[in-house]
Amino acid sequence: IYMKELVLLGQRYAALSVAHPHVTAAATAGGILCLADITCQLTLERRSGGPLDARRTAALTAFGAWHYGWPAKSLYLLYDHLLDARLFGAANAVAKVFLDVYLHTPLLLIPSFYLITMMARGSTAADTLARLRREWRTASFGCALFWTPLCLVNFWIVPQHSRIVVVAVFSF
């Protein structure tokens, strides 16, 4: 693909994301997480000789579409609304990182991930909640380590219309 076509594709995506932010974020994140899971199953888990776990792929796709399309996109828009007129530059990005990584992730994203993906794969509510309780601290700490620097760059440099793309790509 030529540079001119990539720029045009990026401009079209940006316009679509501005016009339809939630639907675009849902389709983007759902599609990327779907491809990520299929890639993982075919390469890292070496399932090329056996069947794909379609239920797992569907669960991750549903989580990506739901969570990044509505709660996460809504929060990203809210962060801008609340903070862009009050804080600038690094202070703005750091405030958004704090809200996203240290509040949104442990209190909404991680529980949502466990509930959607485990129940879609057939776990009971009791088993899902027990596993979430058991793994919540480790998952929250790991997410904070991984996402803090990435979200700092995302909130500081990346325009609003492409932030979900960045998060979904790094989730790959």
Percent of the chain predicted with pLDDT > 90:
91
pLDDT band at 47 (very low <50, low <70, confident <90, very high): low
Burial environment of residue 27 by CB neighbours within 10 A (0 to 12, 13 to 18, 19 or more) = middle
Residue range 75-115, pLDDT digits in tens: 999 999 999 989 999 999 999 999 999 999 999 999 999 99
Q: What is the pLDDT of residue 1?
A: 57
Do 158 and 92 touch, CB atoms closer than 8 A?
no
Containing H/E element for 44?
none
pLDDT > 70 in the chain, percent: 98
Query: Quick check: 51 pLDDT over 90?
Result: no
Nearest partner of 103 among 150, 62, 143, 65, judged by Cα: 143
pTM of the model as a whole: 0.93
Q: pLDDT tens-digit profile of 100-155?
A: 999 999 999 999 999 999 999 999 999 999 999 999 999 999 999 999 999 999 99
107, 136 Cβ separation under 8 angstroms:
no
24/5 Cα distance (integer angstroms): 20
